């Protein structure tokens, strides 16, 4: 405060002695950045200004400063280009509504990899994510000491990334801790290129000094042994130094296939929190918040209608909302519930036609980490039989294929085998929550990718 | 000051430094240029406090000295003179111009009132051929757009990595990266961002010079200079501020792989996109349909008021079938900035970026985001 007042009174004196254009050109965006050993350090916006002020006004500035504070004996100058009133933090009003897509990477902070738009303030809390939110919030208050590692899992599009980034952004705000957010896919490709370019040391160095390490979509490590090994080392090194580690996945660590046991046990060593599906009220609240963010508002029954009819995930909700906003912009009239009904009907038609047999086989075999060919073959191995039965169940349930047709498709089995498989899974779904989750995950990824 | 030089020389110098003289400024002194003669050279300099240009030439110096003169009046007057010897003499803050039958006196300002172009200490430097630099910059110069929110991407990134210079520009919808051959003196990787305007002036000023440009980078500033043919004295020096901040991690934008690839004749593609632009909708959308199985590439556009357009493009394609829409202007920009006769287009799906590259050269890449369906 003292510095500011000192500079203000000095400027008031200088202003009297020089012409207004001169004053405006040279003294705009200047300030005292510190006073050290009776020396005032004046920050100026550019080199041009520095050399000019030094040459023309040095004595005048010193005299004016002395008049106010007789202790000051000398002045020095530094260039601070960003000491302007237009702070960088001004967050751009997102215009997601234009169909022209943008590079998302450019919104990321190059140092932390975080996107500043994800905060706790715009994170909608409901019963489905209460636990994950509370754990995340606690971690952001005291990183490294409460829940370490924090493992958050949920199906896609329910706000994992938002929560992870919000934690990172909150910790990053006080600048004392070094935060790094990285999607697992990027982590993998970094390792691969480090190995290829013989730069493993650079890679290790990069992760050495991090205080908070956030890695998203960890399930992509599945099956990548070398990456898992490197990740294991990184994890241990950070963990031993009490550095916070936050992980996310689309399933429980137990269900991630082809993951080494030592990693799995590390993941399970801290706090595991899941995000479930939001209930109708929360979905409507989320829609309302998103619409507000984009600068629009619709009648409440529109939000509720969408929330009632689009149940899958938040990303999908946002997709519908975007369509409605575009519609409103094109027609230039207010959207009513009938318009929304029509829009949702169109969307649903597309999604039911996108399920194909080959895609189903691929998704299921990826999920259980079995060979695609074995599914239509004769193998009786347990995991293959299970995959086969789940495919049969999904085909029957979602596409209503006949049993003989499924039998033919799945490699010439008897149709009674198919009937047996179907009823077996059907029963199990009722009893066993794990299998229910697995199937809904598979269905999810069939419609989203 | 009292010097003799040829009109042609003075005219050339004025046209170069004039680029930095300020046209509208609340500081009238910046509408002047500085003339300064010493040691057998005349130096002209101008600045608008963002960039500064100094041009020097060999002259016959009778008496050393200097003066600041309003640029517009001086430059338009000199343009009317014949290409003959001019005598310039400064007396009591007046400039006397004497050339054959023409005699003039222009009122000037004392040298002391003119802001000097700041000098700075060198941190890193490199040398690049002016043609190479100007051609490379021209390939990406039009991409950035002014951004108050992210000043970093309103400029052009110069990034050195293992003796390779990459210059990069983006407007958040598309991104171009060009590799430039340079001679580097210092070791170590470094990077800086120059304002788009500085890059434009570099092209304007140095494209005629077939010389080596020395680029010196230091605290908050950058200097581009060429030296004279016969003397070890700089001929043109362009000083500019650089943009503070870190350029986003742009490399993650460039896709590492693709699902569909097609090689097409550039002229043909360009022409068909242009034709399609006539029918493009309000959002400038044109749609590419590549089906490697049938070996066909179609470009379509349409709009409810006018009608529809479809053109078949010959090309070698491989990979998966894809339908992807773009703003036709972005496609045109990428295509016109490439010089090769054939181009490679790569895509993965309708919401992932498309890539354009010249065939036969790996020094240019243009990444463009699609339009959502």
Coil vs helix vs strand at A313: coil
DSSP B342-357: EEEEEESSTTS-EEEE
Band the pLDDT of B107: cuts 50, 70, 90.
Answer: very high
Band the pLDDT of A348: cuts 50, 70, 90.
Answer: low
Average pLDDT over residues A169-177: 84
Q: Which helix (H) or strand (E) holds B328?
A: helix B328-336
Percentage with pLDDT > 90 across chain A: 9
Q: What is the pLDDT of residues A327-345, one digit of tens each?
A: 777 777 777 777 788 777 7
Backbone angles phi, psi at A378, to 5 degrees: -110, 0
Please compute Rg for chain A using Cα positions. Answer: 30
Average pLDDT over residues B277-296: 91
In this complex, is the C-beta atom of B26 within 8 Å of any C-beta atom belonging to chain A?
A: yes
Query: Quick one: fold of A357-448?
Result: Chromosomal Replication Initiator Protein Dnaa; Chain: A; (1.10.1750)
Q: ipTM > 0.95?
A: no
Q: How far apart are CA B194 and CA A259, in angstroms?
A: 47
So what's the pLDDT on residue A353? Answer: 53
Residue A1 neighbours by CB distance under 10 Å:
5
Average pLDDT over residues A319-331: 80
pLDDT reading at A231 higher than 80? yes
Query: Quick one: fold of B122-251?
Result: DNA Polymerase III; Chain A, domain 2 (3.10.150)
- As a CATH number, domain B255-368 is 3.10.150.10
Using the Cα atoms of residue A18, residue A24, residue A26 and residue A32 in order, give the sign of their dihedral.
positive
pLDDT reading at A352 higher than 60? no
Residues of A (381-420) whose Cβ lies below 8 Å from B: none
Please tell me which of the candidates B241, B252, B370 has its beta carbon nearest to residue A105: B252
Q: Which residues on chain A are in Cβ contact (under 8 Å) with B248?
A: 105-106, 108, 110
The CA distance from A201 to the nearest CA of chain B, in Å, is 17
Distances (CA, A) of A425 to A49, A370, A419, A438: 76, 19, 10, 12
In this complex, is the C-beta atom of A22 within 8 Å of any C-beta atom belonging to chain B?
A: yes
DSSP A161-227: HHHHHHHHHHHHHTSSS-EEEEEHHHHHHHHHHHHHTT-HHHHHHHHHT-SEEEEE-GGGGTT-HHH
In this complex, is the C-beta atom of B129 within 8 Å of any C-beta atom belonging to chain A?
A: no
Tell me whether residues A106 and B153 touch, CB distance under 8 A: yes
Residue B239 neighbours by CB distance under 10 Å:
25
The CA distance from B262 to the nearest CA of chain A, in Å, is 22
Query: Quick one: fold of A108-274?
Result: Rossmann fold (3.40.50)
Tell me whether residues A21 and B221 touch, CB distance under 8 A: no
In this complex, is the C-beta atom of B255 within 8 Å of any C-beta atom belonging to chain A?
A: no
Q: How far apart are CA A43 and CA A415, in angstroms?
A: 82
Average pLDDT over residues B253-268: 92
Q: Which residues on chain A are in Cβ contact (under 8 Å) with B367?
A: 103
Q: How far apart are CA B321 and CA B366, in angstroms?
A: 21
Q: How far apart are CA A261 and CA A259, in angstroms?
A: 6
Tell me whether residues B241 and A105 touch, CB distance under 8 A: no
Domain assignments of chain A as residue spans, ordered by start: 2-79, 108-274, 280-352, 357-448
Q: What is the pLDDT of residues B140-186, one digit of tens each?
A: 999 998 766 678 889 999 998 877 899 999 998 999 999 999 988 77
The highest-level CATH class for domain A2-79 is: alpha beta
Supply the mean pLDDT for chain A: 83
pTM above the 0.90 mark?
no
Q: Peptide bond preceding A279: is omega within 30 degrees of 0, i.e. cis?
A: no
Size of the A and B interface in Cβ pairs below 8 Å: 101
Partners of B30 in beta bridges: none
The CA distance from B78 to the nearest CA of chain A, in Å, is 29
Per CATH, domain B2-113 is 3.10.150.10? yes
Q: Which residues on chain A are in Cβ contact (under 8 Å) with B116?
A: 51-52, 55
So what's the pLDDT on residue A97? Answer: 53
- As a CATH number, domain A280-352 is 1.10.8.60
Q: Which residues on chain B are in Cβ contact (under 8 Å) with A47?
A: 118, 120, 219-221, 241
Average pLDDT over residues A294-315: 80
So what's the pLDDT on residue A93? Answer: 39
So what's the pLDDT on residue A92? Answer: 39
So what's the pLDDT on residue B167? Answer: 96
So what's the pLDDT on residue A21? Answer: 80
Please tell me which of the candidates B119, B149, B353 has its beta carbon nearest to residue A90: B149
Tell me whether residues B118 and A50 touch, CB distance under 8 A: yes
Query: Per-residue b/e over A23-44, b at no fewer than 16 CB within 10 Å?
Result: bebbbebbbbbebeeeebbbbb
Instruction: Name which of A115-119, B22-26, B62-66, B110-114 the model is least confident about.
Output: B22-26
Percentage with pLDDT > 70 across chain B: 99
Band the pLDDT of B110: cuts 50, 70, 90.
Answer: confident
The CA distance from A379 to the nearest CA of chain B, in Å, is 31
In this complex, is the C-beta atom of A79 within 8 Å of any C-beta atom belonging to chain B?
A: yes
In this complex, is the C-beta atom of B352 within 8 Å of any C-beta atom belonging to chain A?
A: no
Partners of B183 in beta bridges: B127
CB A344 within 8 A of CB A309: yes
If 0-12 CB within 10 Å is exposed, 13-18 middle and 19+ buried, where does residue B87 land? middle
Please tell me which of the candidates B173, B241, B247 has its beta carbon nearest to residue A100: B173
Q: What is the pLDDT of residues A88-135, one digit of tens each?
A: 333 333 444 567 888 888 888 888 888 888 888 888 888 888 889 999
Please tell me which of the candidates B120, B253, B283 has its beta carbon nearest to residue A99: B283
A186 compared with B46, residue with greater pLDDT: B46
Sequence ranges of chain B with CATH classification 3.10.150.10: 2-113, 122-251, 255-368
In this complex, is the C-beta atom of A95 within 8 Å of any C-beta atom belonging to chain B?
A: no
Q: How far apart are CA A314 and CA B94, in angstroms?
A: 74
Average pLDDT over residues A233-243: 89
If 0-12 CB within 10 Å is exposed, 13-18 middle and 19+ buried, where does residue A189 land? middle
Mutate to test the interface with A, among B153, B168, B218, B244 (most CBs of A within 10 A): B244
DSSP A37-82: TTEEEEEES-HHHHHHHHHHTHHHHHHHHHHH-TT--EEEEEE-TT
Instruction: Name which of A165-174, A278-287, A418-427 the model is least confident about.
Output: A278-287
Residue A46 neighbours by CB distance under 10 Å:
18
Give the chain B residue whose CA is nearest to the CA of A86: B148
Q: How far apart are CA B216 and CA B122, in angstroms?
A: 6
Please tell me which of the candidates B150, B220, B253 has its beta carbon nearest to residue A79: B220
Q: What is the pLDDT of residues B320-338, one digit of tens each?
A: 999 999 999 999 999 999 9
Tell me whether residues B248 and A105 touch, CB distance under 8 A: yes
pLDDT reading at A321 higher than 90? no
DSSP B71-112: HHHHHHHHHHS-SSEEEEEEETTEEEEEETTEEEEEE-B-GG
Backbone angles phi, psi at B267, to 5 degrees: -60, -45
So what's the pLDDT on residue A384? Answer: 87
The CA distance from A363 to the nearest CA of chain B, in Å, is 18
Tell me whether residues B371 and A99 touch, CB distance under 8 A: yes
Q: What is the pLDDT of residues A13-47, one digit of tens each?
A: 888 888 888 888 888 888 888 888 888 899 888 88
Give the chain B residue whose CA is nearest to the CA of A90: B149
Closest by alpha carbon to A49, among B116, B196, B195?
Answer: B116
Instruction: Name which of A439-448, B58-67, B193-202, B309-318 the model is least confident about.
Output: A439-448
Percentage with pLDDT > 90 across chain B: 70
The CA distance from B224 to the nearest CA of chain A, in Å, is 16
Partners of B290 in beta bridges: B297, B322
User: What is the number of residues in chain B?
Assistant: 373
pLDDT reading at A381 higher than 50? yes
pLDDT reading at A244 higher than 90? yes
- CA angle, residues A369, A375, A377, in degrees to nearest 5: 135
């Amino acid at each position: 405060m003292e510095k500011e007042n000192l500079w203000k009174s000095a400027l008031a004196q200088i202003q009297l002695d020089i012409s207004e254009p001169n004053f405006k050109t040279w003294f705009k965006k200047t300030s005292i950045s510190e006073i050290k050993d009776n020396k005032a350090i004046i920050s100026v916006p550019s080199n041009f200004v520095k050399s000019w002020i030094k040459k023309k006004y040095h004595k005048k500035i010193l005299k004016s400063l002395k008049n106010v504070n007789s202790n000051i004996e000398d002045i020095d100058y530094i260039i601070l280009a960003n000491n302007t009133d237009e702070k960088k933090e001004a967050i751009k009003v997102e215009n997601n509504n234009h169909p022209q897509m943008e590079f998302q990477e450019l919104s990321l902070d190059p140092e932390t990899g975080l996107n500043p738009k994800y905060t706790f303030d715009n994170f909608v809390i409901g019963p489905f994510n209460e636990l994950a939110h509370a754990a995340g919030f606690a971690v952001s208050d005291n990183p490294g000491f409460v829940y370490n590692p924090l493992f958050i899992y949920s199906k896609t599009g329910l706000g994992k990334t938002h929560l992870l980034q919000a934690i990172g952004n909150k910790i990053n705000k006080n600048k004392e801790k070094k935060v790094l957010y990285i999607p697992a896919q990027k982590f993998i490709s970094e390792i691969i290129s480090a190995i290829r370019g013989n730069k493993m040391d650079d890679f290790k160095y990069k992760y050495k000094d991090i205080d908070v390490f956030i890695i998203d979509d960890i399930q992509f490590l599945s099956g990548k042994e070398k990456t898992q090994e490197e990740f294991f080392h990184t994890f241990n090194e950070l963990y031993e130094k009490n550095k916070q580690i936050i992980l996310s996945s689309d399933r429980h660590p137990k269900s991630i296939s082809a993951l080494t046991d030592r990693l799995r046990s590390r993941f399970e060593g801290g706090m595991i929190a899941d995000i479930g599906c939001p209930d109708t009220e929360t979905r409507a609240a989320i829609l309302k918040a998103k619409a507000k963010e984009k600068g629009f508002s619709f009648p409440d029954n529109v939000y509720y209608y969408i929330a009632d009819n689009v149940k899958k995930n938040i990303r999908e909700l946002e997709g519908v909302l975007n369509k409605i906003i575009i519609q409103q912009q094109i027609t230039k009239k207010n959207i009513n519930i009938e318009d929304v009904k029509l829009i949702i009907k169109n969307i649903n038609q597309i999604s039911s036609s996108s399920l194909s047999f080959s895609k189903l086989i691929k998704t299921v075999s990826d999920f259980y980490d079995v060979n695609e060919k074995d599914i239509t073959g004769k193998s009786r191995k347990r995991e293959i039989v299970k995959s086969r039965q789940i495919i049969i169940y999904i085909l029957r349930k979602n596409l209503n294929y006949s049993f003989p047709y499924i039998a033919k498709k799945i490699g010439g089995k008897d149709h009674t085998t198919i009937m047996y498989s179907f009823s077996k899974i059907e029963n199990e779904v009722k009893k066993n929550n794990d299998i229910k989750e697995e199937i809904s995950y598979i269905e999810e990824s069939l419609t989203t990718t | 000051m009292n010097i003799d030089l040829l009109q042609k020389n003075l005219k050339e110098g004025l046209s170069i430094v004039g680029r930095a003289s300020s046209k509208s400024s609340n500081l009238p002194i910046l509408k002047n240029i500085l003339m300064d003669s010493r040691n057998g050279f005349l130096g002209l300099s101008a600045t608008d406090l963002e960039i500064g240009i100094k041009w020097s030439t060999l002259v016959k110096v009778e008496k050393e000295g200097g003066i600041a003169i309003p640029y517009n009046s001086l430059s338009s007057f000199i343009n009317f003179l014949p290409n003959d010897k001019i005598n310039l003499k400064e007396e009591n803050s007046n400039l006397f111009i004497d050339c054959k039958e023409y005699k003039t006196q222009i009122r000037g300002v004392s040298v002391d009132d003119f802001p000097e172009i700041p000098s700075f200490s060198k941190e890193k430097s490199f040398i690049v051929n002016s043609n190479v630099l100007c051609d490379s910059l021209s390939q990406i110069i039009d991409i950035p757009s002014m951004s108050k929110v992210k000043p970093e991407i309103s400029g052009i990134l110069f990034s050195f990595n293992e003796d390779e210079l990459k210059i990069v520009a983006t407007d958040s919808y598309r991104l171009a990266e060009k590799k430039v051959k340079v001679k580097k003196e210092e070791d170590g990787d470094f990077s800086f961002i120059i304002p788009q305007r500085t890059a434009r002036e570099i092209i304007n000023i140095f494209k005629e010079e077939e010389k080596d440009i020395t680029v010196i980078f230091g605290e908050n500033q950058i200097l581009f200079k060429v030296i004279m043919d016969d003397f070890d004295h700089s001929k043109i020096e362009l000083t500019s501020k650089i943009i503070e901040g870190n350029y986003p991690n742009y490399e993650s934008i460039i896709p590492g792989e693709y699902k569909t690839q097609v090689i097409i004749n550039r002229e043909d593609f360009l022409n068909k996109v242009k034709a399609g632009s006539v029918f493009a909708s309000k959002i400038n959308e044109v749609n590419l349909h590549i089906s490697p199985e049938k070996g066909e590439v179609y470009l379509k556009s349409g709009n409810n008021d006018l009608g529809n357009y479809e053109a078949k493009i010959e090309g070698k394609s491989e990979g998966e079938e894809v339908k992807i829409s773009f703003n036709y202007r972005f496609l045109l920009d990428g295509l016109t900035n490439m010089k090769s006769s054939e181009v490679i287009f790569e895509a993965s799906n309708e919401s992932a970026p498309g890539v354009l590259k010249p065939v036969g050269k790996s020094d240019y890449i243009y990444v463009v985001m699609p339009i959502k369906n």
